[in-house]
């Protein structure tokens, strides 16, 4: 079985795959103080929660942005006695990237592009609601060509709560109406509906520039379902798109 790891700045998503099928998935915090031993113990707990043992892992496919934790995950692979594949420079041969500086493209964005083209066809546009809100664009040849990066919803909420003394943190959910009749609704409109409107505007402009009005639009990330309640711009909502892309890259590298 393949353990796919998508390590973001605040959360790490993990998925266990067998033959390309996602058997189970979970999330844990991305903590720069974690050692390989702590990660190993957490893995054992998650696996036992699903009635499995870590000994079923045959390889780790990893995409991450925190260098010191990449080293710790390498240590986890060594402890398990399995190979680890790092998405990025080592997998460039099977992940077409046509951006100006391919080395600057995040591993998660590469995985999103691969998954979008593989499972939904090209051209495609992926909107990933994570720590940042990333928009990844795949051209008609299936290559990642660029996109947009904006502050994520939680970052915006934290900044708003920190700078505006009378605005406490509110539930991140779609409000019932666009005119907020109280502070909670007003903040939810600004954050959730505002993010949906941003996605609509950027997607429309990207389709025009790409010359592909029929490009599939896929939403992913932890808050994709919340934002999708306020817009019809998405053709597909796939919360596990990045993990599936990481697994597909591993399949290509080992084929």
Torsion of the alpha carbons at 97, 99, 103 and 106, rounded to the nearest 10: -80
**Token pair in block for residue 124:** 């495609």
Q: Which residues pair with 219 in a beta bridge?
A: 127, 237
What is the longest distance spanned by two Cα atoms in the chain? 58
> Does the CA dihedral 179-225-242-120 come out positive or negative?
negative
First-residue to last-residue Cα distance in the chain: 15
Contacts of 159 (CB under 8 A, 6+ apart): 151
The question of whether 232 is a catalytic residue gets the answer: no
Count each helix (H run) and each strand (E run) in the chain, helices first.
8, 10
- Regarding beta strands 84-86 and 11-18, do their DSSP bridges make them parallel or antiparallel, or are they unpaired? unpaired
Going from the C-alpha of 254 to that of each of 85, 89, 94, 127, 251, the distances in angstroms are 10, 16, 10, 28, 5
CA nearest neighbour of 114 among 61, 151, 153, 69? 61
Catalytic residue among 6, 108, 139, 238: 108
- Strand 236-237 and strand 144-151: the pairing is unpaired
DSSP for residue 56 = G
Give catalytic residues, as residue numbers.
108
């Amino acid at each position: 079985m393949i353990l796919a790891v998508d390590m973001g700045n605040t959360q790490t998503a993990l998925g266990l795959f067998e033959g390309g099928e996602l058997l189970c998935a979970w999330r844990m915090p991305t903590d720069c103080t974690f050692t390989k031993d702590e990660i190993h113990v957490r893995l054992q707990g998650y696996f036992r929660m699903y009635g499995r043992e870590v000994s079923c892992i045959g390889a780790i496919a990893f995409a991450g942005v925190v260098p010191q934790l990449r080293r710790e995950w390498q240590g986890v692979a060594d402890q398990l006695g399995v190979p680890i594949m790092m998405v990025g420079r080592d997998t460039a041969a099977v992940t077409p990237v046509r951006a100006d500086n391919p080395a600057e493209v995040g591993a998660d964005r590469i995985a999103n592009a691969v998954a979008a083209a593989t499972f939904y066809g090209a051209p495609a546009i992926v909107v990933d609601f994570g720590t940042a809100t990333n928009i990844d664009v795949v051209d008609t040849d299936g290559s990642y060509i660029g996109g947009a990066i904006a502050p994520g919803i939680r970052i915006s909420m934290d900044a708003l709560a920190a700078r505006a003394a009378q605005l406490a943190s509110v539930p991140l959910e779609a409000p019932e109406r666009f005119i907020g009749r109280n502070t909670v609704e007003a903040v939810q409109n600004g954050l959730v509906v505002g993010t949906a409107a941003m996605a609509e505007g950027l997607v429309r402009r990207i389709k025009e520039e790409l010359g592909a009005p029929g490009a599939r639009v896929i939403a992913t990330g932890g808050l994709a379902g919340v934002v999708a309640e306020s817009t019809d711009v998405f053709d597909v909502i796939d919360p596990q798109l990045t993990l599936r892309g990481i697994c597909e890259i591993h399949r290509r590298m080992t084929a």
